[in-house]
Chain A
């Protein structure tokens, strides 16, 4: 297991090309939250050649729809959602210049190819750690699409937000390799 790498956006190619599947990272600073509905709106804007509500080149997108903030807290529970639903939009976002996305679960081949082509990475946070990950979010505000409720575009400031590199910029897949290795070990056990 490698040392923990800090990622503090805006990121350049050089910040992510050295990352390998299984590497532990911590995110510091800005993190942008978006899921299905906000992605659809943003990709529509890109397709029309219009600017996004916020500059996301070099930034990290977090696939999340948090629970409402109880009084006195910046946010409620805020763990990752299933990334595969954003596979339809992710290649477009990486092509535009997003350097990393954070979610849970695996990606399709088009996303994996897009990471290689655009020198970017896909990270996973532990699904279901909603209460735990909320502690890393120090501030939260909706910056666009408030009508979507939890599905709005969010801007968070995070400290020590933990994640694991699931797909790197060389086309490797932590799930495929990890599950194949363990299926073999468990078969002979």
Chain B
């Protein structure tokens, strides 16, 4: 058994978000630079180069890369041998978000009620997902999820007869419909299997894998490669103005499902693709 202090959780969440909204992940910046060389459209190349410049400016000036600093999505992978020094794990996460948003001048982007609206003022509550895993560590993954891309994400429970081609067509239709609105070049997280609630969570977890890392199962790794190429033949391009760089990566996560269902979900992330992680 190992004791972790909830105060350390608060500080970690705070520091990860302050970084995530301002400092681009190096592998993402490298992906922009690579795409800027390979993109066939001159306007597309120009936009990709602007994204590199914007990330450098944000870091230098200590400004958020994008004004939609997002909804806070927090994955906690909690080792079964971890105990906390005091109660209040969820509040520690929310307090970390609150402090990051205040100290880094991030945008309060949540309303108290979906129909009656009214800003909560501090970007809480975070969307927290807890997984129990073996071990005595706590892994914290934070995502700052803008709504332009979230709004264009989709889920569907298909019939098993739709098969692999049906799943691919759902991905392509979703990206095509998202068009310019999700701020391409995109990062795509796709969940296949599970059930109604699990498939969307799979898609979001897939998003936050290291950029471009293949699925451990070679079958899905091949699908990721083929389907990403198909996405990039759609012509959507940077900012949807046309071109060959519609998505930078496609990550698929799959799990068992009911004999009568083929659940699919595509969670789209914009090019800002902000996420950081730490292990306590």
Contact = CB atoms under 8 A, between A and B. Distances in A.
Interface in B1-59: 40-41, 47, 50-51, 53-54, 57-58
B78 to A, nearest CB: 32
Contacts of B108: 149-150
Contacts of A70: 62-63, 105
A128 B64 contact: no
B244 A186 contact: yes
A65 B107 contact: yes
Given A127-B183, A150-B108, A64 B67 contact: yes
Nearest to B240: A175
Contacts of A98: none
Interface string B244-279: 100000000000000000000000001110000000
Interface in A130-189: 130-132, 134-135, 148-151, 164, 174-175, 177-187, 189
Given A150-B108, A174-B241, A128 B235 contact: no
Contact of A82 (B121, B181, B232): B181
Contact of B54 (A37, A81, A132): A132
A34 to B, nearest CB: 14
A180 B240 CA distance: 11
Interface stretch (A10-18, A43-51, A72-80, A89-97): A72-80
Contacts of B234: 179, 183, 186
Contacts of B271: 128
A147 B142 CA distance: 29
B241 A178 contact: yes
A180 B237 CA distance: 11
Given A124-B239, A178-B242, A182-B41, A65 B179 contact: no
B107 A148 contact: no
Interface residues of A, number: 47
Contacts of A109: none
A165 to B, nearest CB: 11
A106 interface: yes
Interface in B101-155: 105-109, 117, 119, 121, 147-148, 151
A150 B65 contact: no
Nearest to A148: B119
Interface string A3-34: 00000000000000000000000000000000
Contacts of A135: 57
A58 interface: no
Contacts of A178: 235, 237, 240-243
Given A76-B105, A82-B151, A67 B64 contact: yes
Contacts of A69: 105
Contacts of A78: 67
Contacts of B239: 104, 124, 126-127
13 contacts: A37-B117, A76-B67, A76-B107, A77-B58, A78-B67, A105-B148, A106-B180, A127-B66, A128-B66, A129-B66, A175-B180, A175-B241, A179-B234
Interface of B: 40-41, 47, 50-51, 53-54, 57-58, 61-69, 105-109, 117, 119, 121, 147-148, 151, 179-181, 183, 232-237, 239-244, 270-272
Interface of A: 37, 64-70, 76-79, 81-82, 84, 104-106, 124, 126-132, 134-135, 148-151, 164, 174-175, 177-187, 189
Nearest 7 CB-CB pairs, A to B? A178-B242, A183-B235, A182-B235, A105-B181, A182-B242, A131-B58, A130-B66
Given A82-B147, A128-B270, A183-B234, 9 more contacts: A70-B105, A77-B65, A82-B181, A149-B108, A179-B234, A180-B235, A182-B41, A184-B235, A189-B40
